[in-house]
Structure 1
């Protein structure tokens, strides 16, 4: 079948999914022309489908005229087992951890070469925290990210080490230095960052294991780390992480 006739044979659902699939980490805001080009469809067709997706809430439009993923897709995404199941199981432990530390608490999983924040509780201290539920941040510059990267497959580690953008003056951007840090994370079973993602914010994170595999990371963000508070934070995190891990029966599902 010729390519043109194949395109004509696509269902409305397939075309709508092609519009949504045009977005990725490098293309979060797209013009109508860019959407049509990336979805491989005529501009009038893209215009009609975009209008329907906006009306339903799957897409939004910025003041600059660019299109972005809409809030309704995020609401639906929260129902996915990796988020709803894990969040539900971890919730009491996150609240216990928050009560013990009064720090911002993060629950995160690895999504490719980034950290996906599944849940977050805001702490009492005035600390600059750039994460939000559903946001993605670099693996190499966050505490939970370093935990997940240290336990990631070798090819993922190699890809991340090959591209280490400097986010703050304290971000570790030398592959050799980060590689040694990751080895230490595996040995110590926890990771730390000091103003590597945002100035004035430090973090401690530990892995969450289920059936012997690291499935997520649990972390806290605090104004500073020293010999006095680091052991206490690591201990509190490990207690909570073990509790979460024991509560995961198998593949996360509702």
Structure 2
């Protein structure tokens, strides 16, 4: 199963356009100030690296971000000097360096969310015989933060920490969109529409259905749509003073029928998310 958006000719500039539009809108709404473009471009370069593609050359970074080649070359050298990228002369490519890891660790080290989530997720996975995922939004992607499999595991997914899925085509994305403020969701969907092209009418319908289901039931589902042999149930996890997260369980379609999802798994996943919210508030 592929967890990464596929590359194609039309993908040029999409990550950069998404970051630019997202940040620019948020900046104008909240402060009325112009965006600092060099900073946004530097972050876009760092965001181009993934666990599947840890090494990128200048042209690959240009392809992923849409940033002009001379700018990529100049900024990459600066990021190497600052310790955020490592350059291999033999490969003529870059990869993320330890300073980026330090930033990521600083973001979560003092948060009890993932520590508490691991226990809640493993308990849910073992009781339901599913694969449980905790994820967050990164621009127009959903990025996996934590995974737990039932013991013994019923499925083997390539959804490790750092894996990405498109927010528009994943139930995890729909649940996250449902948890966002309306204005932020409007801007994101505008960016999705520009990227989706002829796929937008279908995506818009499924996104709307997923958001509506989440608002009404507390969770949304995809039974054999996301992947033919898999069913997924996703519920938003909203914790005070933190960006929205999503909790999802995944299992074989044969074992996660609609009746079981509606009777058992959906309500239990919502209850698990609520319990985790309460634990985090008490722990803080």
Q: TM-score surpassing 0.5?
A: yes
> C-alpha distance in 1, partners of 2:44/2:203?
33
Q: In 2 relative to 1, CA 176–99 (structure 1 residues): closer, same or farther, beyond 3 Å?
A: closer
What residue in structure 1 maps to residue 172 of structure 2?
144
* TM-score of the pair, normalised by structure 2: 0.62
* TM-score of the pair, normalised by structure 1: 0.68
1:118 to 130, 145, 157: 145
What residue in structure 1 maps to residue 223 of structure 2?
194
Q: In 2 relative to 1, CA 90–49 (structure 1 residues): closer, same or farther, beyond 3 Å?
A: closer
> C-alpha distance in 2, partners of 1:241/1:228?
21
1:193 Cα deviation from its structure 2 partner: 1.7
> C-alpha distance in 1, partners of 2:250/2:265?
10
Q: In 2 relative to 1, CA 162–25 (structure 1 residues): closer, same or farther, beyond 3 Å?
A: farther
1:226 to 250, 254, 257: 257
2:71 to 26, 38, 51: 38
1:163 Cα deviation from its structure 2 partner: 4.6
> C-alpha distance in 2, partners of 1:138/1:62?
33
What residue in structure 2 maps to residue 216 of structure 1?
245
- Which is helix-richer, 1 or 2? 2
What residue in structure 2 maps to residue 69 of structure 1?
96
1:137 Cα deviation from its structure 2 partner: 1.8
Q: In 2 relative to 1, CA 192–27 (structure 1 residues): closer, same or farther, beyond 3 Å?
A: same
Q: Give unpaired runs (5+ residues) of structure 1.
A: 1-16
Max Rg structure: 1
For the aligned residue pairs, the C-alpha RMSD in angstroms reads: 4.1
How many residues are aligned here?
Answer: 226
Query: Per-residue CA shift, 1:151-179, capped at 9, x if unaligned?
Result: 2233443333515659xx9x983313422
Q: Give unpaired runs (5+ residues) of structure 2.
A: 1-38, 51-55, 63-67
Query: Per-residue CA shift, 1:65-119, capped at 9, x if unaligned?
Result: 4323247734651342388532012222112111211211111222332212221
